[in-house]
Structure 1
Amino acid sequence: MRAKYLITFIAAILIASVWGCTSNVSGPDLNGELPRSLSTSEQELVENGRSFAFDVFKNTVAADSAENIFISPLSISVALGMTMNGANGETYNQMRNTLNFEGLSQDEINAGYQSLIRLLVDADPKVKMQIANSVWSKKGFAVDKEFTNQLEEYFDAQVSELDFNDPESAKIINDWVSGNTNGLIEKIIEGRIPKNLVMYLINAIYFQGDWMNKFDKDDTEEKAFSLEEGGEKMVDMMSQKHTFNSYSDDVVELIDLPYGDSLYTMTVMMPADSDKALSEFIAQDLTRQNFDNWIGQVRNRNMILELPRFEMEYEIKMNDILISMGMEDLFSSGEADLSGINADVQLFVNEVKHKTFVSVDEKGTEAAAVTSVGVFVTSVPPSFRADRPFVFLIREHNSDAILFMGKVNNPES
């Protein structure tokens, strides 16, 4: 395989493939046995989730000029899926449509997430897959019990109340993040928790999988990697000869690299035309429909595989991306309807923050992702309460003439 345009596109595919590992689009038979068949609602959730994966990846690439991008569509979806339980009205409709869950009730969505999370964690005994969820509310902020009950039941979420004014609270949340990503992502909160923030909804994913066919370190050599902007860079290029599921046509070159018992794979794709920019390939050719078609045609072939060894961290604020995808009201302090969390105050989401890490070497892959949804209470308008002695005057603004002045110590006197 050519050493060109590779690292950027490995980005979403590693974790996005989680959405596809239980679908019917899998090419030749897998070595590992599927844990069980999916129910109709679960299958619909997975299929719609895969559409969201490609949509959010394409929109992220379009919005961010970073050289390397790595996201977890699953983590983003689960965090927003939890938040949906507190949304109503148009805010709820926009969230459901953006996540591609039209036609599914909230009960079906919740049950689908619950089953999918359990399935993914236990899918392959040779792969370590952890999914953890948590809800952190500000001490004294009333949270609808039905909301937290749903998250505990369907998302197995840890529900906690903290004094957000205490700097130690940020450390407690960050320790939870670090503990649930095997230390790959140390924190999601920088500095102190903002004054008006009343809740964090957080998803964390940790993945560790050894290649089914490991690379020999002795075969790793320094080789040239062609850069998109021109020129080359010397990288540590892993190499092996083995049979892999692969596909190529005049649009794409694709290879599937299995982990463990092969229920998890890394799918690597490049434009077939070496002169075509990867960003152009992603914008024009990378659709769920095309991907399903390509994967459906893979064949097991004896191949020489060359793949760079790499490690990257990535972080992005998802607000503008999600707004561009149709989730507008959620981020508007005047329009958001999160009355399912608390019906007595006006809430909105101030930030959806996404952080990831991935390391790929001869042994396999280690990756982690964290998505946090920060819920703010709209600032209470400043008040002026004349409930104690005061001075007053009456004036004319054009001339600044003061007509009357007085003081009041007792309005009832």
Structure 2
Amino acid sequence: MALIKRKLFNRMANMMLLILVLLQAPLPFAQDQSSIFSKRLAKFSINVYTKLVAQNSNQNIIFSPFSIQTCAAMARMGAKGKTAAQLDRGLKLISNNEAQIAESFHKVLAAYEKSSILHIANKIYIKAGYQLRDKFSSIIFKKFLSAVEPIDFSEDVRAAEKINSWVALRTNNLIKDIVDSSKLTASTRLLLINAIHFKGNWVHQFPERDTGNEPFYGNTDKSIDVPMMNLKKRFRYATLDNLNATALELRYKDSDLSMLIVLPNSKTGLAQLERKLRITPLSQITEKLDWRDVIVKLPKFKSEFEVELKHTFKQLGMSDMFSNDADFSRMITTSERLKVSKIIHKAVIEVNEKGTEAAAATASIIVGFSLPSLPREPKRFYADHPFNYYIINKQSIMLFAGKLINP
């Protein structure tokens, strides 16, 4: 039992999955390209998060904006006309130029291609006997680093097992059964997947001996006792008067990644904070971070979240892709009309004393017709009530985003 507990304490995981299923029915860049990509992704994230909160107001949420955007951007590479224009706007892509869009994702994917703690994988399953158009295939392979594999979707159970095994392998078994066999039919032509897995240790780990049960105040006046981690170290910290909140950055070893936590000052202030965050760029928060001695209390937690994003995409102005007006004629060599039937996203995050492990996947199904300062009094950052958090890199590219209401 002690061994099992120790393994649990030593494990910190965050995982997400996004699936896009489709059924039958280089140019010059600005010098600040990474910054533009980051800001556009942040806008997309806020838009998606706002919709998800409206639908799941009293629920923990964890999702990967980057996973969702990447998977949908792969579909965008095969779109034309109004369908392409809606995706450009709705996904907040950096351009309406395919080469520039593809290169913006390639820079992020290539930067972590050999990373030991962050693994991002893309894959396209195509119905056996069908072929991708050369241009689409080239962009997907060279820029999105995606493999392509033929599969018999009519053998729905076997196909689902194969797809789910690939996702589980890429996400360290954190995400399983992302695709239900009932979602695959004889009319399924393509399935686009992005899977992302992150496992990192804190630069400053929380001593396990200092973890003990303490109260956490959820959405009600009542508290529940949860395992609370404790640590006093030097962190980047900010007082955010305009948000009536504070922010803390927890860095991961051997990477440019960190967890950013934004904590409302009031125990019941999460809803108000979320409204303000809609119009507050993440860069405005990270720019205010300063090195301070901080006494940190942070609950150990694990969250899982799964959502079908078709309704959310439609709310964000991307509706043609699901209708008979969809134009994905740049994808496959046949003249069949294609449309997206579902966009499935699944995420898991687990946080403990040692670090964080995270994974995500997105699938889309397409059918015929995602500097230290002088010593000062230590700050207190007591995350004993609901808060927002993000896993970002040094360019503030948002890999994961979530809120914790109930550890």
Offset, 1:68 = 0.4
Amino acid at match of 2:171: T
CA distance 1:116–1:225, shift in 2 (3 Å): same
- Which of 67, 73, 89 is the equivalent residue of 2:81? 89
The one of 210, 232, 239 aligned to 1:219: 210
Q: Structure 1 residue aligned with 2:154, among 165, 178, 187? A: 165
Instruction: List per-residue Cα deviations over 1:52-90 (Å, max 9, x = no partner).
Output: 222222222123235100000000011011110111001
Write the letter of the residue equivalent to 1:254.
A
Once residues 237 and 48 of structure 1 are traced to their aligned partners in structure 2, the CA distance between those partners, rounded to angstroms, is: 35
Letter in 1 for 2:367: F
CA contact (8 A) 2:15 2:174 kept: no
**Which residue among 280, 295, 317 is the counterpart of 2:272?**
280
For 1:81-230, what aligned pairs fall within 5 Å after superposition?
Answer: 81-101=73-93, 103-122=95-114, 128-166=117-155, 167-192=157-182, 193-230=184-221
The alignment partner of 1:70 has SS state of strand
Report what 1:411 is aligned to: none
Alignment of 1:373 with 2:364, yes or no, is yes
The structural deviation recorded for 1:256 is: 0.7
Letter of the 1:200 counterpart:
L
CA distance in 1, matches of 2:128, 2:294: 58
Please tell me the root mean square deviation across aligned C-alpha atoms, in Å: 2.1
Q: CA–CA distance in 2 between the matches of 1:77 and 1:183?
A: 22
Matched letter for residue 60 of structure 1: L
Aligned to 2:330: 340
The equivalent residue for 2:294 is: 303
From 346, 354, 359, give the equivalent of 2:345: 354
| Cα shift at 1:344 | 1.1
| Kept after mapping to 2: 8 A contact 1:45/1:109 | no
Gaps of 5+ in 2: 1-13, 17-29, 370-407
Q: Secondary structure at the match of 2:175?
A: coil
Structural mapping, 1:41-60, within 5 Å: 41-60=33-52
SS in 2 for 1:362: coil
Shift of the 340–249 alpha-carbon distance from structure 1 to 2, 3 Å rule, reads same
Q: Deviations over 1:156-187 (max 9, x none)?
A: 11101111122322111111101111111122
2:246–2:264 contact (8 Å) kept in structure 1: yes
- Mark the structure with the bigger radius of gyration: 1
Corresponding residue for residue 372 of structure 2: none
Distance 1:40 1:241, change over 3 A: closer
- In the alignment, residue 222 of structure 2 is paired with which amino acid? G
Which structure is higher in RCO with an 8 Å CA cutoff and minimum separation 6?
2
Range with bigger deviation, 232-241 or 164-173: 164-173
Distance change >3 Å, CA 75–CA 207, structure 1 → 2: same
Letter in 1 for 2:175: I
Output the CA distance in 1 between the equivalents of 2:234 and 2:154.
57
TM-aligned CA distance change 1:104 to 1:120, over 3 Å: farther
The 5-angstrom pairing of residues 251-270 of structure 1 reads 251-261=244-254, 263-270=256-263
Structure 1 unmatched ranges of 5 or more: 1-13, 17-37, 379-413
Give per-residue Cα distances to partners, 1:194-245, cap 9 Å, x unaligned.
3322110000000001000000000001001001133111100000011111
**CA distance in structure 2 between the partners assigned to 1:15 and 1:88 by the alignment:** 32
Partner amino acid, structure 2, of 1:215: F
TM-score w.r.t. the length of structure 2 is 0.79
Provide TM-score, normalisation by structure 1.
0.78
Instruction: Tell me if the contact between 1:79 and 1:202 (Cα under 8 Å) persists in the aligned partners.
Output: yes
d(CA) in 2 for partners of 1:292, 1:114 = 22
Query: Equivalents in 1 of 2:325, 2:79: separation in Å?
Result: 11
Letter in 1 for 2:142: E
Work out whether residues 111 and 154 of structure 1, in 8 Å CA contact, stay in contact via their aligned partners in 2. Answer: yes
- The aligned counterpart of 1:396 is none
Aligned partner of 1:289 in structure 2 is 280
Native 8 Å contact 2:67 2:195 kept in 1: yes
The answer to whether the 8 Å contact 1:50/1:288 transfers is no
